Structure 1
Amino acid sequence: MKLQISHQTNYYYGELAQRSVQYIRMTPMQLPHQIIHKWDVMIPKVATNLKDGFGNNWLTLSRNEAHNNLQMQASGIVEINTDTERLEDMPHVPYLLFTVQTPLTKCSEEMREFAAPYLEKPTLDSLKSMANALIMKMPFVKDVTNVGTTAAESFAIRAGVCQDHTHVFVGMLRDKQIPARYVSGYLYDETENHMASHAWAEAWLDGFWYTFDISNQAFQPNSHVYVAIGRDYLDTAPVRGVRMGGGYENLYSLVLVSKLA
């Protein structure tokens, strides 16, 4: 299935920023089940193109002139194999790395108690059951969390978005030393377009990575475009950086994903 993707992100600052450095992850990964036919990222000036330790494409944008906004447009065509059921490991990133908790995924006692019945003898079916129970326990609700909300905090308030569902699920698995990783990217949904990039979890079982999209209860990557893989949101954030000055900022983001005939 070929998908046309457009991702527009605009930051507007309340004051002039004198300097800024931004790390931009808006380029899909080349994977066995995912082919990048065309991709462009338009940003204010030439950036350095690198790969991080997880193999994610990473643009470093440095601006030393005064500016009051940051505008980025990523777009292209990606083809995914809709028959893909699971992913093989990447040799340059040992799967055991994803058993280590981060501040965003650390498991609370409440999360541990919730997960216990499903992780006593973890299987693909038991993890799917846990994913289903999690969305019932913690419905998708916008504007109650932010990018700094931890798994324990979002689980405690019983609500969150895809990022929170992924942090909670990953945190519960890692607490039992089951490798679990955070994935960010784009989701094709024929009924609607998502206003932002998407996030889902993957768990290492029987020598393969299996998809657990908690928010959509999807367990195969047949509608998912992989942009970045990491331990949590901070490893995969589309834009992350620092600036000198600028005051408060407003963010406008729009993602459009459509199927090509």
Structure 2
Amino acid sequence: MKLQISHQTNYYYGEQAQRSVQYIRMTPMQLPHQIIHRWDVLLPKVAVSQKDGFGNDWLTLSRNETHDNLQMQASGIVEINTDTERLEDMDNVPYLLFTVQSPLTKCSKEMREFAAPFLQDASLESLKKMANALIMKMPFVKDVTHVGTTASEAFKMGGGVCQDHTHVFISMLRDSQIPARYVSGYLYDDTENHMASHAWAEAYIEGYWYTFDISNQAFTPNAHVYVAVGRDYLDTAPVRGVRMGGGYENLYSQVLVTRLS
């Protein structure tokens, strides 16, 4: 399936920023699951291209002139294999790294108790059942969490968005020493345009990575474009950085994913 993707992100600052450094992950990964036919990232200045420790494409944008906004536009055409059932492991990142909890994915007693019936004899099918139980426990609800909300906080709230579902799910798996990673990317939905970046979990089972899109109850990546993988949101965020000055900021972000063939 060939998809046309447009991802626009604009930050507007309340005051002039004197300088800033931004780390941008908005380029799809090179994987057997997907072919990148064309991809461009338009930025205010030329950025340095490199790869991070997880193999994600990473642009470093440094600005030493005063500025009151940051505008980025990523777009292109990506073809995905809708028959992909699982992904092979990456040679450059040991899968055991994804058994280590991060500050955003620390497991609580309540989460451990919730997961226990499903993880006594963990299998692909039992993890699917846990994913289903989790969406019933934590329905998709906007604007109740933020990018810094931890897995335990989201679980206690009883609702959240794809980022929260993913953090909670991988937290419970890692607590049982099952490798689980956070994936950010794009989702094609034939009923409506997906207006933001998407996130889902993957678990390492019997030598392969299997998809657990909790928010959509999808267990194969047949509508998913991979952009970055990591331990949690902070490893895969489309934009992270620091700046001197600028005051408060307002964010506008929009993602459009349409099918070409």
Deviations 1:43-72 (A, max 9, x none): 000000000010000000000000000000
Alignment TM-score, normalising by the size of structure 2:
1.00
User: 2:23 maps to which residue?
Assistant: 23
* C-alpha distance in 1 between matches for 2:236 and 2:63: 22
User: 1:94 maps to which residue?
Assistant: 94
Residue identity in the other structure for 2:206: D
3-state SS of 1:226 partner: strand
Residue identity in the other structure for 2:83: D
Q: 1:1-261 alignment to 2 at 5 Å?
A: 1-261=1-261
How big is the shift at 1:118?
A: 0.2
Residue identity in the other structure for 1:248: Y
* C-alpha distance in 1 between matches for 2:62 and 2:181: 29
* C-alpha distance in 2 between matches for 1:64 and 1:84: 44
Residue identity in the other structure for 1:49: S
* C-alpha distance in 2 between matches for 1:144 and 1:244: 29
How big is the shift at 1:32?
A: 0.8
* C-alpha distance in 2 between matches for 1:231 and 1:64: 31
* C-alpha distance in 2 between matches for 1:33 and 1:115: 30
How big is the shift at 1:195?
A: 1.5
Residue identity in the other structure for 2:200: W
How big is the shift at 1:93?
A: 0.4
Give the unaligned 5+ runs of structure 1.
Answer: none
Give the unaligned 5+ runs of structure 2.
Answer: none
3-state SS of 1:72 partner: strand
Structure 1's consecutive aligned runs of 4 or more residues displaced over 2 angstroms after TM superposition are none
The aligned length equals 261
3-state SS of 1:104 partner: helix
Percent sequence identity over matched residues? 84
* C-alpha distance in 2 between matches for 1:249 and 1:32: 38
* C-alpha distance in 2 between matches for 1:188 and 1:63: 34
Alignment TM-score, normalising by the size of structure 1:
1.00
* C-alpha distance in 2 between matches for 1:230 and 1:241: 17
RMSD: 0.4
How big is the shift at 1:33?
A: 1.2
How big is the shift at 1:246?
A: 0.3
